[in-house]
Chain A
């Protein structure tokens, strides 16, 4: 109290007098908890599989702890008012992902992914620290909106030059590493959308001609919208990536609605999405097959060809039941080659049960909610839209991939944020958390009490 009081006295400005508390101690406690939970999971896997605590437990725990500590220090220095939740949530999900990947590594002795994932996680946290330290004000990004969109389109187009992997053309392979540029593109696009819509929202909302009850914007303003829609469908067709196009499109529609408040945009967006999906589902056999699998997950069993990946995933979730089999004791390896990436949630569902799965979904929900909260607290349109965009990105991606592996919607090859194996994904998600920390710091430090969020 005395410390807070002295700060107030030193600054002396009435606006700053209602700044929200810093809560850095809360963040540190939660980080310790997140690291301990991850180490506990790691030990649980070892105990279940071999009856002993795995030899690397202390080392990995210390490694994760040091990463978390550095990130925390960076936040303390450059974003002291930031929301205390996003960083611990990121560490916990990343740590849990490492545990699950390590656990799945035990089933495939020839293919160890956990060490690589640890390297990528380190890079991700490094990027987080870099963003928090270097980006003093998120509004700077507004200036680079067009750089972002060009970079995003280039990244999206790159994999077309590379051969398809497992039917989808979304990877590029450089020096033994495979990178999924679409992952990076999504953050760049979120920045661009936020900047574009912040600049043009009045034109989108009110300009243009009126047709019956719909207000259409001018072609100059509408042009980029249609372009983005065509690009997203183009990505789908050329790269057979239903998930990424759905993600981009969903992100765009959400931001458009938030920027203009026009429900009509949602209707138009849904209509375009359905048209695009139907057309592509018809024309593209890879995507059509996914839809068939979703509608009839057990068709391959009835045809005598054995269960497909989706059926195996459903079996895994069902086997978990309410409480799960316990870490290391499930059989999600039956799902096949994508267990560590697309289907890692099935392992969580089998070994941690509905209880564990609900906890994971709630962690994501908390992260999303914290993003929205920062958006609501900010006072300028770009920041608001950026926060909403990043939060929606997480929610949409979790929905698309988790809905896919549990049979709610057609399956798309996407990575569960933080959990799944995949360097580009982990690095990107740390960048998202870094931006959320940054905007929440702005929101909470400039909070002036004139409008309650």
Chain B
């Protein structure tokens, strides 16, 4: 049995070489397993995340998406198409809730609540995993949860009906909490048109994006307007807090017309009787001259501080989707300050921001950060995360808030805002007609901000801001009261009735 002689091993191929060949085969198969482990474990995240890998998209649409709820009822749905991307979003009342829901499109992604709460709705939120560690291994996807909004269905409908397709927006909040009760933009669109992946979706996308009316623009939170006279609420708050005004009925030292400091430009009023008018009269009749001078008297520093306390220049507002920052210019000369103080120059505000201003007045000077999501739940209703309420902050003295409330009530009782009056309800408001365009040639924006408190209620229950872009071409101060105030009234009535 010599191993190395000629024809060893009795003429048979030796066991030794067979074992070598066997080891070689074992090596090949071991290399396979090692490589499979590399692909399936080590580098799997990288492959999963490759944008050309459709699995994440398929998984996303494999199950029905969670719903967005208003007053306990879903305003969204899911349609089983039986296609590779199986479930498509449906919106039973699409245009009405579009500025809140946004769209969830297989082709164009998500916006607004569909975007901000995507983790919960699509089921990827870690909170939705029953056993987190195990889910990492098994790659299980949770069933989509629901998002319960703070919206009041009737207020939303009233606002949408009130705008009646005219360009504009409505924002309503509950002053004591910051809950957003209505968020409407007009003209709107149906997000269901963008849900799927078909050619129809592509053409709808192109059509909506090229529409001069900009139906996909969320005017309530993503568009800023010059707030015009509604900003006089802020100016009055600054003046009262700074002690520039102590008696609302005392005659002010304000000429009509008012020459802007350091310029030859003369600021005028739409109506008569503004010269040396008291703050109360000037507020009720919206005298530009009085408030421009008041802003200058308060000074840039205090005006900026008050405006920022109300939420101007805050770029971080999330409800939970982001809100366009409202602006009050911090680097102004006295003439610019005068214009800024009556809501012109670089002063711009979203309707939501102006609703916050009215809410702060109604809530004794406390500003509550607005929020749209009451809570998120698992599918079936078990709570996932709690209320979106955050602590409020005092933005003016309570006494100042009380006097402002008195002024606003006067506007509705006997001033420019009588159209907002509701029998048996205490309503406070402020009209505004904002000039814009080159040389103020554009059709002015009609504004109305207000709050309402029913007789037996301890505090105001709703604050509303309405802006209508193409108000009837009556350029008088009346357009804020004539066009926007009735819309606000219907929204407030809807909330108080509920």
Chain A positions near chain B (C-beta within 8 angstroms): 201-202, 206, 254, 257-259, 261, 298, 301, 306-307, 311, 314-315, 317-323, 325, 331, 334, 349, 353-354, 357-358, 361, 364-365, 368-369, 372, 375-376, 379-381, 384-385, 388, 391-392, 395-396, 398-399, 402-403, 406-408, 453
Please, which residue of chain B has its CB at the minimum distance from the CB of A380? Answer: B12
Write out the residue numbers on chain B whose beta carbons fall within 8 Å of the beta carbon of A320: 40
Q: Please determine whether B50 and A317 come into contact, CB atoms closer than 8 angstroms.
A: no
B472 on the A face (CB < 8 A): no
* A206 → B minimal CB distance (Å): 6
Residues of B near A307 (CB, < 8 A) are 50, 52-53
Q: Contact between A318 and B35 (Cβ–Cβ < 8 Å)?
A: no
Please determine whether A399 and B31 come into contact, CB atoms closer than 8 angstroms: yes
On whether the beta carbons of B40 and A399 are closer than 8 Å, the reply is no
Complex contacts, B33 vs chain A, CB 8 Å: 357-358, 361
How would you classify the secondary structure of chain B's contact residues: helix, strand, loop or mixed? helix
Instruction: State which of B32, B40, B137 has its C-beta within 8 Å of the C-beta of A408.
Output: B32
CA separation between A331 and B54, bound complex, in Å? 9
Beta-carbon contact of B35 and A408 below 8 Å: yes
Given contacts A254-B21, A258-B17, A314-B47, contact A384 B12 (CB under 8 A): yes
**Chain A CB within 10 Å, residue with most, of B12, B19, B41, B51:** B12
Could you tell me which B residues sit within 8 Å of A by CB distance?
6-7, 10-22, 24-26, 28-29, 31-33, 35-37, 39-41, 43-48, 50-55, 58, 137-139
| Distance of B5 from chain A, by nearest CB (Å) | 11
10 nearest A-B pairs in the assembled complex, by CB-CB distance: A318-B47, A395-B25, A318-B44, A399-B28, A354-B40, A408-B35, A301-B52, A372-B22, A315-B53, A307-B52
Residues of chain A contacted by B24 (CB below 8 angstroms): 254
User: Contact at B31–A315, with CB atoms within 8 Å?
Assistant: no
Q: How far is the CB of A134 from chain B (nearest CB, A)?
A: 26
Give 6 A-B pairs besides A365-B29, A379-B12, A406-B35 with Cβ atoms closer than 8 angstroms: A298-B52, A318-B48, A319-B55, A357-B33, A361-B36, A408-B32
Cβ 8 A contact of B29, one of A384, A388, A395: A395
Question: Which residues of A have CB within 8 Å of B138?
Answer: 323
| Least CB separation from B48: chain A residue | A318
Tell me the minimal C-beta distance from A332 to chain B in angstroms: 10
How far does the alpha carbon of A219 sit from the alpha carbon of B28 in the complex, in Å? 33
- Structural contact, A349 and B36, CB atoms closer than 8 A: yes
Cβ–Cβ contact B36 & A201, under 8 A? no
Question: Of the candidates A314, A354, A399, A407, which one forms a contact with B41 in the assembled complex, judged by CB atoms under 8 Å apart?
Answer: A354
Chain B residues within 8 Å of A317, by CB: 36, 39-40, 44, 47
Q: A325 to B139, Cβ gap below 8 A?
A: yes
A315 lies within 8 A of B12 (CB):
no
Is the CB–CB distance between A381 and B11 below 8 Å? yes
CA distance A361 to B31 in the complex (A): 11
Q: Which residues does chain B contribute within 8 Å of A358, judged by CB atoms?
A: 33, 36
Q: Which of A261, A318, A322 has the most chain B CB atoms closer than 10 A to its own CB?
A: A318
Given A379-B12, A391-B25: A406 touches B32 (CB 8 Å cut-off): yes
Which of A259, A261, A398: most chain B CB closer than 10 A? A261
- On chain B, the residues within 8 Å of A319 by CB distance are 44, 47-48, 53, 55, 139
**Residues of A contacting B54 in the complex (Cβ-Cβ under 8 angstroms):** 331, 334
Cα A453 to Cα B9 with chains together (Å): 13
Q: Decide: A403 near B52, CB < 8 A? Known: A354-B41, A384-B12.
A: no
Q: How far is the CB of B80 from chain A (nearest CB, A)?
A: 14
A202 and B21 form a contact (CB under 8 A)? no
Contact assessment for B137 and A323 in the assembled complex, using a CB-CB cutoff below 8 Å: yes
Q: A315-B53, A395-B29, A408-B31 are in contact. Are A354 and B16 (CB under 8 A)?
A: no
